[in-house]
Every structure is written in C-alpha cells, then in structure tokens.
C-alpha cells in the first residue's frame, strides 16, 4: 500500500511553490556604449535605444548623434528600468535593441523587381503594432507571393525574435523595409507605376472587383484607427471584405490573408 512519507531529503518542501526560473536575456539586447558602437560599425540594424535620463557625457552625445543620423529611435528612461532590463549586467546608461531582421530600402527593391520581370506585390502596414499580427502577415505574404513588407519607422512594432517566431521564419526570407514617411513612400511607389489599394470598411468594391494582377501595394491599417487619411487619399482603389457573421470586423492579419489569396488566384489565372 502506497504511503505518503512527505518530502524526501534534498527535495522541495511540501506546500512551497517552485522557484521561478528567469528567462535568459534576449540575444537582441546590446548593453553599453561599446556594444552599440560596434553594432553600428558593423552595419547592423538597431530598432531603438534606451538612454538613462540626464545622461549627457561627451560619449553619450556622440553616440546619440550617430543614432539620430541612422534614424534610430531614442527613448529617455529612468535608470531603474535599465537595471530591470539588464538584471545586473553593466549597461553604462545605454541599452539597445538590435533588429532581428535586416531592413532593406524600398528604392532598391522596386527597381530590382521590375528588372527581374516581376510584377510587384507589396504590403504597407500603417500603424500595426502587434508583433504577432506582423509575423503572421509576413508568413502569409511569403507563402502567397508578396515581394516585401513596408513598415513606418515610428508607430510600428519592433521586429524582435518574437516576431520572427510568429512568422515561422518568413521574416528571414521576405524583405522588410522601414520608412520615415509612409506617405512619401506611397507617392514614390505611384511614380514607379505601382497602384495603391487600401483596405477599408467604407469601400464598396469587393476583392473580386479589384485588379490584383497589376503592380500594386496593398495598404492595411491598424484595427482601431484604420489607415491614415493621407494614404487613403492617395489610393487608386479601396476594397472591403463582405462579412456574413455577427462580428463587424476582421483581424488585420486575417483580412490581409484573404486579400493576398485573391491576389494570388488572379495572378495565377493571368499567367
């Protein structure tokens, strides 16, 4: 007959919860001036940098100037936040988040696609901040033949290891572009002969009524505020997905998948 003898020697006492194991520090974190400077010298992309409030040393100002020149977002935070993130690792008042993906330029990708004889299919995500959404969209886009994703530098999610995981690795294969001004980027795309198709609930055209076989950029907005008015005003086409259920809207990732599926079908039938 089994008898409970209580905790054995060396075991965990009964009634006491197991000690929580801290997760290892993320590999995309860079601590201190030297690490950040070396990353910049090596041409690595940096998403953002946390500076200790009040940090004004010559070295800090020199690095700050380099970061701004590279368009890196700098945030002033209390030293307590830096200490919490670093968990005792020496940070000297500076912590950087290295990008998990290598960003490319729209001005390099578009001419290359035309030179290769391809019909560009791009996705511009305006204000999408959930890394799982971006990762899922990247996975769908890579599977359905899209050529690149365009993200605003400000107001978009940071693409760290969690975004790459959510994309099932697609972010390592699908070009990603970060742009300072999405409106100016949209105007550049139009000058290259690429049509802008904006997804909005207020549109009356269905996906089947839009020509996805032409060079185009699909613009998807955040679920709460949608696409900014300047981009809507530039778009040649606006499209909405008719819904039959009680829920009035789709997740941006699901909506993007539906539109890309229609685009993929149209393009295959046109071949």
pTM: 0.76
CA-based end-to-end distance of the chain: 74
Domains in the chain, ordered, with CATH?
A: 29-98 (3.30.1330.30), 103-270 (3.40.1280.10)
Residue 18: is its pLDDT beyond 80? no
pLDDT at 168 exceeding the cut of 50: yes
Residue 68: its pLDDT value, please? 87
For 76-99, what is each residue's pLDDT tens digit? 999 999 999 988 888 999 999 887
Strands 216-221 and 195-199: parallel
Long-range contacts of 191-197 (CB under 8 A, 24+ apart): 192/110, 192/111, 192/114, 194/110, 194/120, 194/122, 195/236, 195/237, 196/231, 196/234, 196/235, 196/236, 196/237, 197/235, 197/236, 197/237, 197/238, 197/239
Does the structure show a pLDDT above 60 at 247? yes
Where is pLDDT greater, at 3 or 188?
188
C-alpha 161/C-alpha 99 separation (Å) is 9
29-81 pLDDT tens trace: 899 998 999 888 877 788 889 999 999 899 999 999 999 888 788 889 999 99
């Amino acid at each position: 007959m089994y008898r409970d003898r209580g905790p054995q020697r060396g075991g965990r006492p009964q009634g006491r919860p197991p000690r929580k194991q801290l997760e290892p520090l993320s590999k995309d974190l860079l601590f201190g001036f030297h690490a950040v400077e070396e990353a910049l010298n090596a041409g690595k992309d940096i998403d953002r940098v946390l500076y200790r409030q009040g940090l004004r040393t010559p070295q800090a100002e020199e690095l700050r100037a380099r970061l701004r020149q590279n368009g890196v977002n700098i945030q002033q935070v209390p030293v307590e936040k830096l200490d919490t993130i670093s968990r005792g690792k020496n940070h000297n008042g500076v912590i950087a988040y290295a990008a998990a993906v290598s960003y490319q330029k729209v001005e390099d990708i578009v001419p290359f696609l035309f030179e290769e004889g391809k019909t560009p299919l791009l996705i511009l995500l305006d204000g999408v901040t959930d890394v799982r959404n971006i990762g899922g969209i990247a996975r769908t886009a890579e599977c359905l033949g899209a050529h690149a994703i365009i993200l605003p530098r400000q107001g978009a999610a940071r693409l760290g290891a969690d975004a790459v995981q959510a994309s099932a690795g697609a972010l390592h294969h699908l070009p990603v572009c970060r742009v300072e001004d999405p409106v100016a980027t949209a105007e550049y795309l139009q000058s290259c002969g690429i049509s802008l198709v904006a997804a909005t609930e207020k549109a009356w055209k269905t996906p089947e009524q839009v020509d996805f076989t032409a060079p185009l950029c699909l613009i998807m907005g955040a679920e709460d505020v949608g696409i900014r008015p300047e981009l809507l005003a530039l778009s040649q086409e606006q499209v909405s997905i008719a819904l039959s259920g009680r829920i009035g809207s789709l997740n941006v990732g699901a909506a993007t998948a539906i539109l890309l599926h229609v685009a993929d079908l149209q393009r295959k039938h046109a071949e």
